[in-house]
Amino acid sequence: MIARVRAAVVMAAVLALTACQGGPPSSGGGTGSVDDGTTITMWTRSPTATFSQTLVDAYNASHKNKVKLTVFPADSYQQKVGTAAGAKQLPDVLASDVVYAPNYAANGVFMDITERVNQLPFKASLAPAHMKAAAHDGKDFAVPHDIDLSAMFYNKVLFTRAGLDPAKPPTTLDEMAADAKKINALGGGVNGYFFGGACPGCQLFTSWPMIWASGGTVLNDQGTASTIDNPVAAKVYSLLRQMHADGLVPASAKDESGPTWTQSFIDGKIGIQPMGATALQGMKEGPDLQVGVAPIPGLTGGSSSFVGGDVVGIGANSQHAAAAWDFIAWTLSDKAQVDVVAKNKNITVRSDLAGNTYAQQDPRLGVFNKLAEQGQTPISVNFGKTYNDTNGPWTQTVIDAVFGAGDPASALHEHNAAITESLASGS
């Protein structure tokens, strides 16, 4: 995933462009759906392309309407959406990284679909973190599309070789560090742990759940102020800093900006690494890699997850809203969620379908489905420019906290005001 969180990097100027050009949220009008042979357009970004195309193909094969999907590179997607919003040339169906949903909902990129969503009999079971992120002023502007979750992956082969029980993954961060130390002692190019040290998205995706699970926070409920300057966060980054200093994490992690941050684990060289649920689909298991999945723990227990992925809504200028809604509503149906989404080892966005037959066949999917109910999606209109932008204030904050000359608590205290200033600006 983090390719997803990282791939969602967007410049502040793009968000400003969206905000300035989008205008007030559209009321949309109408609540119905039609399947009358209309051709509708849909945009998505490259990390979600395969997922979206699979749903589009299944819908096109079973409906009169046809969805024409266009995929844009992730790094240019926000610019494309911002420009289209200003020119009122948005597609009928628009998928978006969930962290940008608050910005799109507040600035008229998505059509108001509140009445349509209220008619869904399973509305209450839709992933709450995604629904909350896509709501604005009590109205719904998008629904969950593709859920990705951060979880702790571990290599059962290395656990066994290190004398650890592969059926008992660590349940606290201290246990995680202790297990990583034993695995690291195997030598031979094996390391205990890995993270993307120069990847702001990787870091927030995997370390914020540690803070949440420990009772800490990262920003206020309004998304306008940073709260990362707290003792819990300082302890979390102190632990990561110590693991790197002790050599449990390869030195290369300091410069890892994201594109290759999961490769060493896939190669069977890393014992433990938090990453995204979607990474499981691309892992080829064998003699050197048997993947275990567990929740990301806190300092003394508990667990949490960053609920990422994409939401989907109707473009504010769509002339085919009823047909667009027919497709969107279908993607949330039992048939689509089980026979298409779950069958392809993706996470259902409906909690009432978490125990589906495919999840029962792979307990790891059950872990992900449970985390979808427990995890969090931070909400802020200015999330992108603050946290995902490599030039934003979060990047230097976490680099200083984990690798800087001072201690983590001082680094968090020093940068907290700059993060708050970015979160509050223009909102």
pLDDT digits (tens, 9 = 90+) for 274-300: 999 888 877 899 999 999 999 999 999
pLDDT at 29 over 70: no
DSSP 294-314: EPEE-SSS-EE-BEEEEEEEE
User: Could you tell me if 80 and 212 lie in one domain?
Assistant: no
pLDDT for 280: 84
User: Could you tell me if 66 and 130 lie in one domain?
Assistant: yes
User: Could you tell me if 138 and 276 lie in one domain?
Assistant: no
Residue 258, burial from CB neighbour count under 10 angstroms (0-12, 13-18, 19+): buried
User: Could you tell me if 251 and 345 lie in one domain?
Assistant: no
Distance spanning both ends of the chain, measured CA to CA: 28
pTM over 0.85: no
User: Could you tell me if 228 and 171 lie in one domain?
Assistant: yes
User: Could you tell me if 62 and 211 lie in one domain?
Assistant: no
pLDDT for 4: 45
Mean pLDDT of 309-332: 96
User: Could you tell me if 290 and 396 lie in one domain?
Assistant: yes
pLDDT digits (tens, 9 = 90+) for 5-22: 443 333 333 444 443 334
Could you tell me the residue range of the domain that residue 50 belongs to? 39-147+309-353
User: Could you tell me if 107 and 196 lie in one domain?
Assistant: no
204: in domain: yes
104: in domain: yes
Q: Could you tell me the CA-to-CA distances from 52 to 24, 47, 118, 331 in Å, in that order?
A: 28, 10, 24, 10
pLDDT at 2 over 70: no
Residue 273's SS3 state is strand
277: in domain: yes
pLDDT digits (tens, 9 = 90+) for 175-208: 999 999 999 999 999 999 999 999 999 999 999 9
pLDDT digits (tens, 9 = 90+) for 246-282: 999 999 999 998 889 999 999 999 999 999 988 887 7
Of the candidates 353, 386, 406, which is a domain's last residue?
A: 353
CATH of the domain at 125: 3.40.190.10
User: Could you tell me if 133 and 159 lie in one domain?
Assistant: no
pLDDT digits (tens, 9 = 90+) for 400-417: 999 999 999 999 999 999
Number of structural domains the chain divides into: 2
